[in-house]
Amino acid sequence: MNQGGTTKHYAVVLADGSFFVWRINMPENDVIIHIEGLGKIYDKGKETEVTALDGVALDIKRGEIFGIIGLSGAGKSTLVRCINLLERPSSGKVTVDGEELTDMDPAQLREARRKIGMIFQDFNLLEQSTALENVCFPLRISGVSRKEAEEKAVGLLNRVGLGDRTGSYPSQLSGGQKQRVAIARALASGPEVLLCDEAVSALDPTTTNQILDLLQEINRELGVTIVMITHEMKVIEKICSRVAIIADSHIVESGSVSDVFRNPKTEAAKKLILPSGGVEPFDGSGRLLRLVFDGTTTDKPIVANMVLSCGEPVSIVAADTKQIDGKTFGQLIIQLPSGSGSAERMMAYLDSEHISYTEETDV
């Protein structure tokens, strides 16, 4: 582990008033997950191979909420399962908290995985066990006494808002409650990293927001690094500070959420940030511009003022707004008039107002 920086302590208070503590060294710019040249090839037999990951490189900083987003089949779920070696990579290295997991024997790997919690889309709860027993399960198999395990489990269920449902079975819980139990179980071993594989994809919008709020609280109060795997940009926008976009088994773009939103460089990013929905230009004769408004310009009537200044109308093809880091960001696709010099005058106006835009050939 890197040296220097600061040390932070995070406490979980149990039902009986006792507590247990995470002690986390937090050097400046500390990287907790380092992925280098990661590849995963599935052998389907009869000389058929499928490349799920190819040369993936990624650094995730300690204490952040990092998003990995991609469309179905892009390789994102394979990637998250390679981070804790539930899937063993075909090539490359995975280092977590300074320890190279890909170089460990099975016993060492089991111990290292105690630092890495994981929650799933389908919850993966034991159906014949109560909420309390589900949270106790990883503690009991690691040798913790029943009394201590139950004390920790009660504290964690209280932490996720289910202190009154300790005796409930999964069949008696809603989807959101099941995921809260799964989160409590993932936190039972005091992990430093929490991997979330499509953790809210099976939930309704209201419950999704509640679970995302809970994950933000856990990150803020316990200092746990969270890696969110999702195909939904709204999840990334709500809680992630940085994001990597995966497409065709590669990381094609990464950076802060606001930077990627303002200036998507790849087609994969554009499809995720402002899906086309089959929108077509109105007559095909005018050029298309994608305008990006950051949190300081969304309250200005830019398009209306541009039309008044240039004396010609534009057509709005698509529009979208998002909340990122407490600021409103917007994107707008407009079709410029086809008259001589009209497009150039309008782009000059946008330049004068410091509005970011790119010309689009297809939306």
Residues in the chain, total: 363
- Kindly list the structural domains of the chain, giving each domain's residue range(s) and its CATH number in brackets, ordered by start: 32-269 (3.40.50.300), 281-360 (3.30.70.260)
The b/e string for 60-94 (b: 16+ C-beta within 10 A; e otherwise) is bebbebbbbbbeeebbbbbbbbbbbbebebbebeb
CA 166 to chain centre: 29
Q: What are the structure tokens assigned to 312, written together? A: 């010609």
Find out whether 181 and 136 touch, Cβ atoms under 8 Å.
Answer: no
Q: 9 and 22 in contact (C-beta within 8 Å)?
A: yes
Question: Tokens for 340?
Answer: 């001589």
- The answer to whether residues 38 and 95 touch, using CB atoms and an 8 Å cutoff, is no
**pLDDT recorded at residue 230:** 93
At residue 11, does pLDDT exceed 50? yes
Give residue-wise pLDDT tens across range 282-327.
555 678 888 877 666 556 788 888 899 888 888 888 777 777 766 6
pLDDT-based confidence at residue 259 (cuts at 50, 70, 90): confident
What does the alpha-carbon distance between residue 17 and residue 29 come to, in Å, rounded to a whole number?
35
Question: Is the pLDDT higher at 13 or at 323?
Answer: 323
| Residue 44 pLDDT class (50, 70, 90 cuts) | confident
Give the Cα separation of 230 and 297 in Å (integer): 29
Greater confidence, 140 or 339? Answer: 140
